[in-house]
Amino acid sequence: MKHQEKIDFERVAEALGYIRENFRKQPDLNEVAEKVHMSPFHFQRLFTKWAGVSPKKFLQYISLEHAKMLLKDDAASLFKAAHKTGLSGTGRLHDLFVNIEGMTPAEYRDGGKNLSINYSFATSPFGDILIASTQKGICFLAFVENERHELAGLQDGFPQATFTKKFDAIQENALRIFTDDWRKLDQIKLHLKATDFQLKVWEALLKIPMGKVSTYGKVAQGIGHPAAGRAVGTAIGRNPIAFLIPCHRVIRSSGVFGDYHWGGTRKIAMIGWESARTEK
């Protein structure tokens, strides 16, 4: 039987898909509920349970105008801000507790030779995930539509590594990022196979606060390569760590959310979900 969290997200995602296509018309509760074959009462209750806010409020968070408002913030300054530590309630910038370590040149060159990688399948507010770790940190996290396909993708990235299906303490700690209670959350460490440029881009993404967005151009400026917008986009598209490295927070300069490796509806859900939590 499917986990209830996954079932809830699938229902909400169906509603978000409709809202995504029709947000300019600002569809009301009855219209959206009808499209997902639920009564307004049950849809309102399900959506509020998942998102923490009403469908109407969530619609505001994912509208084009809201995205443009977020972009009015001086996003460039986000890349200059020093990382803070400590907690500040449910709006804490949890990304500041994520640390990236690149693999050694030998590990990179040899496809993970001598690496032992644990992996497991788990659930999140945005659907099922595949998460994997080395002894140094998380090396892979992807949303799963087909378990065999995603596992093959993980193994292709580390063709010389040894894989064990095991849920370990590193994975357990990282998954606490999806909850509102971070009191038990230790710093999340990532152990990534990447070029220096990719690591620089991914580190820049960690400086975009939860509930905010930036653009490809501003990320390029933030890493000191203002003309490298296309290369930045490529690096973002190759991000192997969903959500923890928040590539979903990068949108087009027009305010349009744009594509996402794990689905455009999921990207919208994440941005709205985070906005709702930072404004509580």
- Furthest-apart CA atoms within the chain: distance in Å: 58
Question: By the 8 A CB rule, do 189 and 137 touch?
Answer: yes
User: Exposure pattern of 154-175 as b/e (b: 16+ CB <10 Å)?
Assistant: bbebbeebebeeeebebbebbb
Q: What are phi and psi of 256, to 5 degrees?
A: -70, 140
What is the C-alpha separation between 271 and 280, in angstroms, rounded?
A: 15
Dihedral sign, CA of 230, 234, 237, 240?
Answer: negative
- Contact criterion met (CB below 8 Å) for 201 and 235: yes
247 catalytic? Reply is yes
- How far is the CA of 258 from the CAs of 104, 222, 233, 245, in angstroms? 33, 20, 11, 17
Q: Are strands 138-143 and 250-251 parallel, antiparallel or unpaired?
A: unpaired
Contact (CB, 8 A) for 213 and 248: no
3-class SS at 261?
A: coil
* Catalytic member of 32, 130, 213, 247: 247
Q: Is 137 helix (H, G, I), strand (E, B) or coil?
A: coil
Coil, strand or helix at 119: strand
Residue numbers annotated as active site: 247
